[in-house]
Amino acid sequence: MKNAWSTLYLAAALALATSTALAHDAAHHAGGIKTEAAKAVAAPFDIVHTKISTKGNIAIFHIAVSGKAGATRPTASGKLAGSSVFSYVWPTTIDPSVVGFEPKAGILALAVTSHPDFDDTPLYDENGDGDVGNDGDLWHSHWVVLTPDDACGKGALKVVDIPAGAKPRLPKTWPGLPILLDSPGWSPTFKGDTLEVRVPFDDIGVVKESKFDGVTAGLRVNASVHAPLLCVVDVFKAASGNLSLPGHPDK
């Protein structure tokens, strides 16, 4: 009888834990943009849920996929020219001036990227080995400003180039590359199927009033390391299906 009661107690405890976990998961993935899983997309990049929520002055950028988020990173080529970048991206309607770029410079997006052939976070030592220039393969965050450029392919996007001699307004943590890219150091968090980045804002209202989308994509450095320097060459999946930015923060 004692063993029977123990078995029943264990079963009840497991059922409660499972229901609690499912309720938590359902709440965690509530709101935002929900997208059907797609067998044609590699599971680590197969977006099924995208949202931006706010808590105080913090915006929480969230993407969930059908597999393990962050499980796949590019293979090193040994050189910058023609090298690959994998990314999770939240395009937004937030004006680029909010994070330190020129107003109306393009589409402001938060991106979490991995690229083993170069390092573009010179202020941070992500792998903790004392060398700030050798950890581009680890997932890290950027603000990027995007714009269409047919030089990257018909209707394709690129990270906006900075023309030689130009001196545009740039964030203090701009890494020195001739493109509108910032390396603010917000650490991405991967847990199972989910990726999140917590980003502080001086005025959280600009986030609450914005719209967003979610994208997984491959980018490539120009083979001649020349403008356009960094092109989006392969959109793995867009949460909306058409980059219409239908998402509303906190909804």
Q: Please give the chain's pLDDT, 251 residues, in tens.
A: 444 444 444 444 444 434 433 433 555 678 999 999 999 999 999 999 999 999 999 999 999 999 999 999 999 999 999 999 999 999 999 999 999 999 999 999 999 999 999 999 998 878 888 888 877 999 999 999 999 999 999 999 999 999 999 999 999 999 999 999 999 999 999 999 999 999 999 999 999 999 999 999 999 999 999 999 999 999 999 999 999 999 999 99
Residues 6 or more apart in contact with residue 113 via CB below 8 angstroms: 85, 86, 87, 88, 139, 140, 141, 142, 219
CA atoms within 13 A on the CB side of 46: 13
Q: What are phi and psi of 230, to 5 degrees?
A: -135, 110
